[in-house]
Structure formats: C-alpha cells, structure tokens
Structure 1
Amino acid sequence: MANFPTPVVFAIAAFAAVTHPSSNAQQPVPIDGTTVQTGKSVSDTSQAPATAVNKAIAQEKIRAEAKSLLPFSVDISTGATKSSALLIETPQSISVVTRELMDVQGVDSLSDVLRYVSGVSPQTAGRRGFDDFVIRGFSQSAYAFRDGIRADPGFLTEQEAFGFERVEVVKGPGSVLYGQVAPGGLVNMVSKQPQFGLTKPVTSLEVAAGQFGNSRLALDARGGVDSARIGGDTAWRTVLVLRDRNDVVPSAGATRAFLAPSLSWRATANTTLTARATMQRDSFTRVVALPARGTVLANQNGRIPLDLFLGEPGFDRLTSPQWSIGYTLEHRFNENVSFTQNARRNGYELTGQNLNIGAISVNGLTVGRNPIFLDIDNDQTAVDSQLNIRWGGSALRNETLVGFDYLRFRNRQTQRSGTVAPLSLFAPVYGAAVAPASTLSSNRLQLQTQDGVYLQNITRIADVVVVHAGLRRDEARDDTQNFLNNSRVNVKQSAVTGRFGIVWLAPIGFAPYASFSESFVPLVANPLRDGSSVKPEEGEQIEVGIKWGPRDGSVQAAISHFDLKRRNVVSADPTNAAFSVQVGEQRHKGVEVEVNARVAKMVDVVLQYTALSAEVSRSTTGNQGKRPQNVPKRSASIWTTWRLHQSGASSWDVSLGMRNVSPRAGDVLNTYDVPGYTVSDVAARLRNGQLTLALNIRNVGDKDYFLGTTGGTNVSVGERRTAIASLRYDW
C-alpha cells in the first residue's frame, strides 16, 4: 500500500495549526454562514457566509432556495465550478438528480439514476456489474467521480446508489477542473454527509422485495455528539446496504454488502474535518450480450430467446471487494479566504472467471464462448487542494479558485484464457467442461499519475453579467510493464486546457449564456511513422443556451446547443501496423432540453429531450462519415408525479415515467441499427407518519428492447418488467 503524497502531510500540519490559533488571531467567522432550512435536498452543504464582498450573492441564493417549490431540483451544484455558483449563473449544461427523485423512482444503480437525464445513455453494455454510460455521444464510463475525486479510472466497479445524496452530470469538456476527462462530460456522485444540528439520532430502515428473488435491506442513521465532551461539534452518519439482486436470465444475479460510515468534526467555528470510509463486497454473474443475428438481425433458425444464459451455471462468477478512506478539510481564514482539501485512497479487486461471447456459427445454430480467468488488483490515491478568494466591490465581485490536484492509479492484472464447447442458441445443454490455458494471456503492471494546477475566476458584474474563466496545466505519466515479453513502456504527456463562459442575468429569470471549453486524454500507443510519440487526445466545445428560473420557484428549464469535437484520435497505420496515425476526429452537434416544473398545485414534471447528430469526420479505418455506435439521434423522457393527498404526516402519490430512444448504429460501418424503444415505469408511495410503503415497476409493459451493442456483433438486452415493493420506517 502506497503512502499518501506530500500534500496530505502538509494538510495535517495545516490542520493542527488552524485548529489551535495563536492568541492574537482574528476573531473566528462561522464557517456555515447563514443557514437556510428548506424542505428539499440542497446541493451545497457548506454555504458561503454572508460577508461584505459576497453578501448580495448569498442573499440571492437564500431567496432562490427558500422560494423553490420543486422537490426534484436544486439551485446550486459544486460539480461544474467547485464553488457555490448558482446553476442559473453557470454557462454550461448541468443536470442534478436529487435524493428525493431517486427515492421516488426506486433506483438501484447509477444506471437507474441516469435514465431520465438529457444527453445520457446509460448501461449500453447491459447488466454486466459495472457502471456504463455515454454522454453527448461519447463513452464516459471512466470519468465517474465520487465527491469530486475520480472514482475508478479502470471503470470495473458499480457504485451503491443508496449512498448518494445527489448525482451531478456535467456535460461537455471538464478538464480545466478535473484533468484528464474525455470530451463528453463527467458524472459526480455526492455521498450522504453527516448533518450538524441534530438534537437526537435520526434513522431510516428500509426493507424491499420483488420479482426474481430481489431483496434489499438498507439503513441510514445519523446524529451528533455532545460538543462539551470532545471540544467541538461532531456529527456522524452510517449507511448500510445488504442486497440480493437476481435476473430474468437464469443463473445471473448479484449479492452486495455495503457500509459507509462518516464523521464530521467542527473543531472551531472556522474549521471542519469530515472523514469518510466505504466497504463494499460484490459477488455477481453477468448478463452476457446476445448475438445480433437472431435478435435484431434475421437468423434462419428463428429468434434467440432473450433470457438465454450463455455462460455455464456454477462456473461464471466474479467477486469484487472494494474499500475507500478519505477526508474533506475546510478552513476559513477570514470572511473572504478559505481552503478546502479533498483526499481519498481507495482500491478494489476483481477475481473469478466468466465466459465471454464468441463468434456465432455460419449456420446460426451455435455461438462460441471464450473463458476468461481474471485477477485484477487496483488502487488509487488522489488529493485535490483548493484556495478560494473572494474580492472586489459591490459592482464587481470576484471569486477566484486556485487549485492543485494529484492522482496515482495502480493496476495489477493477470489473465488466463481457456477452451469450452460452443453453446446451442436454441436448445442449450449446459455442463461443458472448461479447460484453462496453461499459460497467462496477460500479465502486467500499470502505474498512472497526474499532477494538475488550475485557476478559475468567476466575476459578477453589477448583478447582471457573470463571467467564468479557467486555465489548467497537467502532467500525466503512464508506466506499463508487460511481464509476458519483459517489455516496458514509459509515456509522459502534458496539456494546457482552458474554459471561458458568460451569462446574462436577464429580467424575469431568463439567463442566456455562451461558453467554450477544452479537454484532454493522455494516450499510450505505438509511435508515429516519424518516430515521435502520439499527442494527447483533445476535445473542444462551443455551447450556447438559455436557462430559466422565475422567482416564484415553480420552474427550472434550460435549452442548450453544443458543437463538440474530439481530435487526435489514434488508429493503426494502414500501411504498417507497427506505427500509429493520429488523424481521427469526431464531431457531435446537438440540442438538449430539460424542464423541471410544478405544472399544477400537486403535480411535478421532469422532462428532457435530446437531438444529437454524431459523425466520424476523419478516419483511416473506413468509417469516415459514419455514426458512432450506441449514439441515438433522438431521446426523450418524462417523469410525472401526482401528489393525490397530503395532510400532516400522511400523503400518497403516484408517478408515471416514459423513456424513448431512437435507433442506434450497431457497428462502426453502420451496416445495421439497434432498434429504438419506448418503455414506461410506474411508482406509488403511501406515507403514514413514520411508515412509507412504496411500489416501483420498471418496464411496466414488459417490452422487449435493446440497450446497445458490444463489439458490433452482439447486443445487450434491456431489463424485463421488474416490480419491487419496499417498506421504510423513520424514527
């Protein structure tokens, strides 16, 4: 286990200094500032104080939060700016899914959370036990963040959704604040946090059961500790989940145990330290994609059953123990200067074996299967340090963020292949012997590091115009050792990225905006023909739009148009595969619409529409002018909740959701399409005092549909009708 890097040592020393100030230190300023009590989930848990410089901003935020009528919305998101900027003042498309909406929709995974978000296609690889998602037509699964820090660069894990307080989707290039991120965007999952001010413990206990043997036990407990005993206010929280998730596909399913304790200590009025840990153990058998021939394409033998299991019962099983430990340190030096440091160390293993789908036979009767024996051990250390400075006068106020982040990711992997008999697609007989190969097919150690320095300034001019500007420099290194051939590749790349945007706070709540942003991703590939190394992959986006949030708080709406380019895409040199060419380019243009509104006294609606034109604009592999795989031209969804009765502690409501996705390209040459689909979800909740009874049914019409394609020859089947009933007791 590697040690924490030097910035963490500095933080510990700084924490000791600021929690024991000298006798002539400045009088402390409350770190919480002005507290607002609202009935909804607030996106920023540590609000900025109402100081002389930012008093008007703080008051505007307070008014916005206090007046909002929308239970499924927030006004502030830290994901796009690492500050407390209002969403309407941010020149970028951002979607936030609140805890309240997650509870109503009965989500079980990050894929469930993202189903009703504009510009996002979740779970395109199917129910394989990992978090998969596409944003604005680009695969962004490697760019999931937890509390502002990269969750898993290897994207071989699935995060527990019950541990989320909210999920922020930041669309478009995000490298200025986060370093290496592909151009589509990122997902930031914000954990449930301890809450100060609780006079007694608050606990929620939920049990759930449903079709296919699905069951869940979930506990969320939080409270405080008497400050007189320990010399400071303390709050704690514990989240526990035990889950057994099965599937319509025989032998497929998963079990999970998840524990997430956290502790916040307000050492002084100016200083707060929050420590977090997670422990998770998953054991699962994946749902493997089916051949396109016989599902979305014709097969002379008929249609393949969509619940066909392509593995071997008792053989296919992967196990993944996961852990993390980290902290957030916040200190306010005075009313205008504050320091925040987030640090986390996390790791996981992925061991076991499974059968991957091979080629379908010429006669279409059988499919080959490829055994894989895995042993993966990954760990990561990440630190993000930020200094926030507020300055200026009443007509020109600035918030400047200076930051440094560090990331170290280690991947140790061995893999062995094997042989097994093909499986009949129409009359399967299980029990075939699986013979592992005598030698390893992969044996490597990879170490990736990233150091980044960034600067961001937000200027508010006369409460009418807000200007965002940012600049960042990164150094990225990749050191990969291949123990099979005793080779080693060492790559070092750097990049400078920028962002600029402007928002006009027009009358009656309208906010037109425009922005430009850049991204980069370091690459490891064979050299170019001239012997030089490949450059980092780059992305850039121009986005214009308009947001609307009237003061009565009844509507949050946004429409955006984006022009997004991905450049320096690498492919093998068509004349000599020992070299690379770097001329590939993709261009994605589109329009996104999101509306969150109270359309009647007791009716809330969340709807989205996305139109996306995606094209491989330059390529040497024969797909120039083609659509990328798994990118729909159109998608739309609507979620409506009717609050039929509300009186004191008693209420009941019903919800209906509909999701529509247009056809998507099935392979890189666009020789076939994965069909589009429309599915519906329903939910009902009854609250009576401390009890809440809920019923959620996904795909209520039990429609056959396909989530996407893998490898161009196989397709992932969507979830069948699944009903889950739950009972929650709060005390």
Structure 2
Amino acid sequence: MGKYTVLSLQILFLMQLGMQAHAADTITAQDEDAQVNVLPTITVTAEDDSKAYAATTASAVLRSDAPLFETAQSISVISEKQLQEKQAKTLSEALQGVAGVTSGQYGRRGWDDFIIRGQVSSAQTYMDGLRIQSSDNALRSEDITGLQSIEVVKGPTSTGFGFALPGGLVNLTTKRPEAETFVRGSASYGSYSLLDGTFDINYAPNDSEKGAFRLVGHVSDQDDPTDYVYYKNYYVAPSYNFDLGDKDELSVIASYQHREFIRQQGIPYSNGDYKNYSHKLFFGVPNLSNTVDVLRFGSNYTHYFDNGWKFKQNFAVTQTDADNNPVLAGTATDLPTINRRLERQLKDDLNFALDHNLSKHFDWGKTQYDLMVGLDAMHERSDYERRRRNLSAFDADNPVYTSEDKATATIAHQITDTQYMGVYLRNNFKIDEHWILGLSGRHDWTQVEVEDIYNDSQSKNSDNAFTGNTSLMYQINDMFAPYVSYATSFFPVSDLGEDGSLLDPEEGEQYEIGLKFQGLDKRLQGYVAYYDLTRKNVTESDSVGDYSVQIGEQKTKGFETELSAALTDQWNVTVTYSYIPTAEITESETTSDIGNRINHVPKNAASLSTQYYFGADQLGWNIGAGVSYQGERSAQRGTYYVPLASYTLYDVNAGYAAKHWGARFSIKNLFDKEYLVGTTPNAQLVNWGDPRTFRFSVDFKY
C-alpha cells in the first residue's frame, strides 16, 4: 500500500511539472491545426454516444474511443437510455438479458451475483476502468443510480486489466458533469412497500463541461416477498471537472454508499419438499441485519501533447466496511427441520488502483496505427474475520422467532494483502481501410500475502505472468466486419495448499470467431460470436475439505448474439440469445464431478425488450414490453443435486412524458410465474424468483 501511494504522489507531482512546462511551450501553426482537428471530434463522439440507445463506443473499458464495430471482442453496453427503460434497482437486475450472462443465480441475498460465459465473475466488477475489489469472500452491491452505462466484456481480460478470471468483467461508468445546467429527480412507490427517490443536479456556469459540478443521490427502502427480509440503501456522489485549459482535463468524483439489509436465505431443497412451504418462509433471525459502508474517491486526468501524444491517469481509492450476520443452514438439513448456525462476517477492505497510459494515432497513408503503452497497479488489504455459534433447529411447520445476540466465537481471521503491477502494450493497425490487426501484450508482477491471525501463520507467494491478445478483423463494408481472436488470462489465488503454502495462479485461454454488424446510421449495433474457453488450475477444496488443490479444469463453448437498435426515433429494440452446449467440469479432485455441467449455466437463454414512443420527440405516451427465457439448469455439490426448470417471464410498462415531468407504471413477471432462480453456492438451499411486482414512478426535469 505504501509504495503505490508514494508512486501515485510522485506521478501526480511529475504530471504537474509537465503541465507547467507545456504551458510555456510555443505551439506551431501546424500543431494548432492538429489539436483543433482532434479534440473536438473526441468530445462530440462521447457526448452523442452517451445519449444514444445503442452505444457505439465503450471508452472507459477499452481505454480508447475506438468504435465497438472495429473492436474484435464481444462487448455488451447497457446505455443510460436502456437503464432508464429497464427500471432495474440493482446491478444483477440490470444484467438480466445480456447475452452470455446469468445474474442473480444465488437469489436475493443483497449482493451482485453474475456468471459470464459459464464462469462465476461476481468479483470481477470495475468502476471507470479500475478494479474495485479482488477478494470474493464478501461481495458488493453497487448503486446503479450514479451510472452512465454498464459495459460487459466477455472472455479473458488480463491483457488490459491484469489478473482476472477468463469469463469476463463488468465495468460501471459513472455519471460526470455535463455542459448543461439541469435538475432532475424521481419518486417511486411499488410492491412490498418500495419507497425510492433520486436526484441529479448538474451546474455548468459556462455552459461547458469544464468547471461543471454534478451531484447524484439515491434513497431506497423495500421489503421482500420473504417475511422479515428488507433492503435499505443510501447513496450520494459529487463530481467536478476542473477548467485547466484546452490541453488538460481533470475530473474528480467521490461517493458514499450505506446499505442495511436482511438477506433472503432460501429453503432446503430436501428432495423437492420445498414446494410444500410458503415463499414467505424465513428461517433466520429478524433482529440481526447486515450493514455495508463504501467510501470511494477517484480522479481522471488527461493531457494532450502538441505532437499528438495523449497521457491519461486514472486513480481510485475505495474503503469498504461490512458487518454481515447471516443465518446459515447446517448439514443434514431435511424439512421440516432446518439445522442452523449464526455467523458474523466482519470485513474491512482498503483498495488503491492506479492506471497510466500514453497513446498516439499515426497516419501512414493506407495504414492507420494506434499505439498505447501503459502501467497500472493495485493494492488491496482485506481484513476478514468470521465468528460462529450454533442456533436451535428451526421447525418449518411451526415457525418461532426469537431475538439473538451476534456470534462472538472466532473461527477464522485472515488479513490478505494483494498487490500487482503490470506493463502493457497495445498495437492496432488498420490497413487499406478494411483489415484491422490487434496485437496486445502484458506482463504482470503479483504478490499475495496471507496473515492467518487465528492459526498464527503467514504465507506469501510472488508470481509473474505474460498474457496476450491477438485479433484480426476484416471490414467488408460499413455494415459487416467478421473477426477472429485469441486471448489468455491469469488469476492469483489466496487459497492454501496441503503444506500451508499459497497455490499457483489460475490460467485461462479463449478462441473466438465472430461478426460485428451495424446499420441505420449506426443506431443499430450488434454482434454474433462463437467461443471456446478453458479455465485451468481451478482452485477447489480437497475431498476432506481441509485445504485446497489445483487439478480442476472447466471448459465452456458457446454461441451468442445481441442486437440493440433505435429502429426509428420512436421505437427501441434489444434482442439477445445465448447457446452454451458445453459447460463442463473436465478435471476435478472429486472424480464424480468430472463430466458434470457447471452450476447455474443454461444451455439456452434469450430475451427481447422493446419501447415505443408515440411522439416523434419521445414526449407524450409510450409503452414497452419484455420477455426473457432461461433454459434448464442444475446445481450440485457433493451429495446435493438440484434440477432447475426453465422459465419465461413477461414485463410490461406504460408512461407519459412532458417537457418537465413524466410518469411511468411497470409490471414485472406479469403472469406471476413461480420459478426457482437458483441455489446457494453449496447447492443446499433453493431460492424462489421474484413474484409479480409493480412500480409507479414520477419524474421531473428542469
């Protein structure tokens, strides 16, 4: 932590010296022309794309303004317009329907759970291009009110972002000050006593993004279909753009989020006996809640040199304090008796993330060359303590609830120190206006140190790895561009082997072939892709459960397609389909698991959503509908096996928008379909999906 903090301060100091030096430089007429030609183009593209239904770029996650149509990688962008039409409350809800993604597979437990291309990727969440957490023993639930867009990158991402699992990542792009002064807000009421309010205030004194200030806030309180379960959320995020002249851009953002909730526990599968019990059944302790506080500060700096080079620095520090008190089901649980134990999970994380890069575009006539060289680093200190005590068994036929004190007997306490530093090089060649060749490489140095306070021991492991990404795309015309790509990944782990030492990093690789397409003056964006992905050295518990081993391997092969389009100024449509015939455990410590399908991964999944505005300017009445299909899945671990049936859900909404106000009414799960959304990670408990819910919202904007 110390050396990265010092490093960031040194670079900030050198950056300031560079700004002062360049302020004194004389700009030639040729340089001035180049600056005028480049800078306005970047600004206009970003502004237009942020308002579009179908995004054409993903600047934060790609670290460039390259069009998605010219990017040989599967990336789904949920634009701000799509987020508004989805009316999602959580990140898991926002990710529903994205091609290749399964979200909320562990039920309504208050965390963001999602799977990308068959691999659990819940800890692979980034904000503005920086990782916000590396540990996965207690996850997060990010407030999506403050988001401009959500980018889902599929496949290995280590070349661009350091250590990562091969399934993919989710990047959250935050709202920043705009060049218009406005005040927006909303108030909502819905099922299960939902009360929700937001505000968004932007002040641009010079009608410019420079010198503008923005403040976003959100308050939410809702009960749950399960008795005694609730979720409270408070969020505020101020941001400011400094006015440093034409050559420099500096934006800062801070946010604070407080959550309090009681998690939905699920119910034991117990050979299908769960069907005989109410969806409202809660076997926990009503007086013990979970609380999470997250404080974040970030900055983004850009300097434009006279010779065409561009320097960017991205920095963030995140402090997370969590006090979770779940009631867990014990072993040998058969309805109506549920054996229980109480855990207290105390987790304090401090994460520093920093990225620098230099880039330049070279025009060599028939060859256009984009070069980027960068260095990034992360340091996370995670203090995680678990306390436990047994509770009396719960009788599901005769529920009795009593107040309980928090658990006090420590069963585990570890401080994990994870840090990495990586250098990367990206080369992108566009040859003869048709061929696009991508060659990227990265070398990382990582160190994981685990101090086991409970067992009074220490383990330390240092690794380095090279990862690469190569791709070739051919632009047939302005509408179709086929491509092929190959990428590798690595992921250091904090699990201990039989001898008490840390295990080697996991590895992964993926082959992909696809087709990007666009149309309707770029208002239609989409892709079709086939991939073959392998995750190697999968870390899992040994047959006894006393330590971890690394002989696991998982393979996923699949096909996915996605299309988002503003078909007209009044009609928006998004269509997705995923087919994953292979999601197989090919190597495992538990021989009976070999050949089994990976938990919660359906072979088929599809979605269709549409919104129609009766007015050409999208004022007046509007209506929308959506349908999503989730194919059969299963979950198993040890002796537990749970089949999960397929289901189809329908959503509808209607609204009215005037110049300064609007109203919307939505119904989700219109036909009140009963379905199992998934199980707990150990496959012991099953979780009902959301029943029919409604939401009424009133918006204002000035």
Fold shared, TM-score > 0.5 on shorter chain: yes
SS in 2 for 1:720: coil
Q: Which moved more, 1:533-542 or 1:126-135?
A: 533-542
Contact 1:558 1:595 in 2 (8 A): yes
Q: Determine whether 1:403 maps to 2:374.
A: yes
Q: What one-letter code is carried by the residue in structure 1 that aligns with 2:7?
A: T
Letter in 2 for 1:628: I
Q: Is 2:223 aligned against 1:246?
A: yes
Query: Within 5 Å, which residues of 2 pair with 1:440-451?
Result: 440-451=410-421
SS at match of 2:81: helix
- Cα distance between partner residues in 1 of 2:45 and 2:660: 20
Deviations 1:578-600 (Å, cap 9, x if unpaired)? 77653321110000011223556
Measured in 1, the distance between the counterparts of 2:406 and 2:92 equals 35
Change (3 A) 1:655 1:355: same
The reply on whether 1:506 has 2:483 as its aligned counterpart is no
Q: Which amino acid aligns with 1:477?
A: Q
> 1:549: which partner in 2?
518
1:616 aligns to 2:585 (yes or no): yes
**What residue identity is the alignment partner of 1:541?**
Q
Name 2:400's counterpart in structure 1.
429
Give the match for residue 722 of structure 1.
Answer: 693
Following superposition, the deviation at residue 405 of structure 1 comes to: 0.6
Which of 562, 586, 598 is residue 594 of structure 1 equivalent to?
Answer: 562
- 8 Å contact 2:56–2:522 — kept in the other structure? no
User: Where does residue 609 of structure 2 map in the other structure?
Assistant: 639
Give the count of matched residue pairs: 689
* Residues 648, 671 of structure 1: alpha-carbon distance in 2 compared, 3 angstrom cutoff: closer
**TM-score, structure 1 length as denominator?**
0.89
CA-CA distance at 1:187 after TM superposition: 0.4
Q: Which of 357, 364, 369 is the equivalent residue of 2:340?
A: 369
Quick one: distance in 2 between partners of 1:95 and 1:648?
A: 26
Provide the C-alpha distance between the structure 2 equivalents of 1:40 and 1:386, rounded to a whole number of angstroms. Answer: 23
Pairing partner for 1:110 from 91, 100, 106: 91
Q: C-alpha separation between the residues in 2 aligned to 1:204 and 1:292?
A: 46
1:166-191 CA-partner distances (Å, limit 9, x unpaired): 00000000000101110100000000
Distance in 1, matches of 2:366 and 2:245, equals 33
For residues 663-686 of structure 1, give each alpha carbon's deviation from its aligned partner in whole angstroms, at most 9, with x where no partner exists.
Answer: 112204784411221111112221
Asked if 1:353 corresponds to 2:325, the answer is yes
Q: Deviations over 1:303-346 (max 9, x none)?
A: 121221121222x2011111011100000112520000000011
1:333 to 302, 305, 312: 305
Superposed displacement of residue 448, structure 1 = 0.6
Post-superposition CA distance 1:43-84 (Å, at most 9, x none): 5xxxxxxxxxxxxxxxxxxxxxxxxxx952111112553211
Contact 2:286 2:403 in 1 (8 A): no
Contact (CA 8 Å) 1:418, 1:434: kept in 2 or not? no
Measure, in 2, the Cα distance between the counterparts of 1:414 and 1:584. 28
Q: What does residue 137 of structure 1 align with?
A: 118
How does 1:201-600 map onto structure 2 within 5 Å? 201-226=181-206, 233-293=210-270, 297-299=271-273, 303-314=276-287, 316-334=288-306, 336-359=308-331, 361-362=333-334, 364-431=335-402, 433=404, 436-437=407-408, 439-507=409-477, 509-527=479-497, 534-550=503-519, 552-553=521-522, 555-571=524-540, 581-598=549-566
Deviates more, 1:161-170 or 1:147-156: 147-156
1:167 maps to 150
TM-score w.r.t. the length of structure 2 is: 0.93
Give, in whole Å, the separation in 2 of the partners of 1:686 and 1:215.
21
Q: Distance in 2 between matches of 1:38 and 1:646?
A: 26
State the Cα deviation string for residues 130-149 of structure 1 (Å, max 9, x = none): 11110001000111000000
Residues 403, 528 of structure 1: alpha-carbon distance in 2 compared, 3 angstrom cutoff: farther
In 1: Cα distance, 2:41 partner to 2:101 partner: 36
Partner of 2:82: 101
Is the aligned partner of 1:90 residue 2:81? Answer: no
Q: Do the aligned partners of residues 384 and 650 (structure 1) sit closer, same or farther apart at CA in structure 2, a change above 3 Å counting?
A: same
Cα deviation code 1:113-169 (max 9, x no counterpart): 101200001111111111111000100011100000012223522111111100000
Structure-2 separation of matches of 1:469 and 1:35: 24
Superimposed CA distance per residue, residues 369-389 of structure 1 (whole angstroms, 9 cap, x where no aligned partner): 110123211110110001112
Counterpart secondary structure, 2:259: strand
2-side partners of 1:269 and 1:20: how far apart?
15
Q: What secondary structure does 1:407 align onto? A: strand
In 2, Cα distance between the equivalents of 1:192 and 1:561?
Answer: 33
Aligned partner of 1:57 in structure 2 is none
Please say if residues 473 and 494 of structure 1, whose CA atoms lie closer than 8 Å, have aligned partners that are also in contact: yes
**1:442 & 1:234 partners in 2: Cα distance?**
49
Match of 1:81 among 62, 65, 78: 62
Q: Out of 678-687 and 321-330, give the one that drifted further.
A: 678-687
CA distance in 1, matches of 2:69, 2:147: 23
| CA–CA separation in structure 2 for the residues paired with 1:208 and 1:335 | 51
Q: Secondary structure of 1:719's partner?
A: coil
Separation in structure 2 between the aligned mates of residue 706 and residue 266 of structure 1, nearest angstrom: 52
Q: How far 1:695 sits from its partner (Å)?
A: 1.3
Structure 2 counterpart of 1:75, one-letter code: T
Contact kept? 2:642, 2:683, Cα under 8 Å: no
Q: 1:499, 1:713 → 2: CA distance?
A: 39
Matched, 1:655 2:620: no
Specify whether residues 224 and 651 from structure 1 end up closer, same or farther in structure 2 by C-alpha distance, changes over 3 A only: same
What is the deviation of 1:646? Answer: 0.4
Task: For 1:80 and 1:544, locate their aligned partners in 2 and report how far apart those are by CA, in whole Å.
Answer: 21
State, as a whole percentage, how many aligned pairs show the same letter. Answer: 26
149-158 vs 484-493, which moves further? 149-158
Quote the residue 1:665 is aligned against: 634
When residues 380 and 598 of structure 1 are mapped into structure 2, their CA distance, relative to the original with a 3 A threshold, is closer
Show the counterpart of 1:178: 161
Contact 1:415 1:440 in 2 (8 A): yes
Post-superposition Cα deviations, 1:193-230, rounded to whole Å, max 9, x if no partner, equal 112x33xx2110111111111111101111223599xx
8 Å Cα contact 2:369/2:428 also seen in 1 = yes
Partner Cα separation in structure 1 for residue 326 and residue 497 of structure 2: 34
Point out where structure 1 has 5 or more consecutive residues left out of the alignment: 44-69
Give the residue type in structure 2 aligned to 1:372. Answer: E
Shift of 1:601: 6.9
Per-residue deviation at 1:350?
A: 0.6
1: CA distance, partners of 2:667 / 2:47: 25
What code does the residue aligned with 2:220 have? R
Deviation per CA, 1:215-271, whole angstroms, max 9, x where unpaired? 11101111223599xxx9411111011111221112111111111000011302010
Letter in 2 for 1:355: V
Question: Match for 1:23: what amino acid?
Answer: A
Instruction: Evaluate the alpha carbon distance shift between residue 303 and residue 481 of structure 1 in structure 2; reply closer, same or farther with a 3 A threshold.
Output: same
Q: 1:527: Cα distance to partner?
A: 4.6
